[in-house]
Amino acid sequence: MNLIVCIKQVPNTTEIKIDPDKNTLIREGVESIINPFDLYAIEEAIRIKEKYGGKITALSMGPPQVEKALREAVSIGVDEIILITDRKFAGADTWATSLTLAEAIKKIGEYDLILFGQQAIDGDTAQVGPGVATHLGIPQTAFVKKIESLKNNRIVVQRLMEDGYDRIDMPIPAALTVVKEINVPRLPSLRGKRNAKITELKVWTADDLGLDENIIGLNGSPTQVIKIFSPEIKKEGEKYELSSEALVEILYSKLKELGK
């Protein structure tokens, strides 16, 4: 079983800062971590490998410092790591990012499952996983809460819905994005930490993937951020000590004033 896990290094949510001039996140000097949702994808890949055998490759696109996140993935249980890095990839939106990841996966070659976290906490779009599947032309299911079976070149999963779950049966190779309900991620092991130090890091650039700079990064992104800002927090309220009937009348009048 050949498994690929796509991960992302993101700023720690407690340390997010915004550049008011460029309308981008300030990443320099900010603590970075593996996207928390991706830890569930890593864990699920490890569980599949433990049950069926095979190999796990972790793949990430980003600046050179993403190596730290990839080596952390090795300490948890990943076998191989690949970093896609090039200044030409800078400014990529979800379309350009998914295209780049898809081309890297084609270069990897044979695979059975591609796993992603539900979404990245710095963008919250949940678009890259389905985008990669679309570029590769393979089936995909998002918000997977459980893998029921994996046999005869087919996979059966439970897809989380607001009122329960759907049961999906599809052929492999396929792509899955998983939710936190699927498992409990394990901590790095001592052996894993040793492996993380010696595992070879493969580094691929745009030229290695044969990608034209006009279809990647900012140049290849159909969507661009015009403005980004922290919402202004307003605290205001009124206190009443009245009967419930009087409070209902006041609430009704307030809502009427607001056009509700």
Sketch out the chain's domains with CATH numbers.
2-209 (3.40.50.620)
Q: What is the pLDDT of residue 57?
A: 97
pTM reported for the whole predicted model:
0.82
| Consecutive H or E run containing 157 | strand 154-161
Q: In terms of Cα–Cα distance, which of 161, 143, 141, 185 is closest to 36?
A: 185
- What is the rounded CA–CA span in Å between residue 193 and residue 206? 30
Q: How far apart are CA 137 and CA 181, in angstroms?
A: 27
Count, residues in the chain: 260
- Across 24-33, 51-60, 101-110, least confident range: 24-33
- Give per-residue pLDDT as tens, 82-129: 999 999 998 889 999 999 999 999 999 999 999 999 998 887 788 999
3-class secondary-structure state, position 223:
coil
Lowest mean pLDDT among 124-133, 211-220, 236-245: 236-245
Q: Which of 29-43, 104-118, 127-141 has the lowest average pLDDT? A: 29-43
**Mean pLDDT score of the chain:** 89
Specify the pLDDT at position 251.
Answer: 83
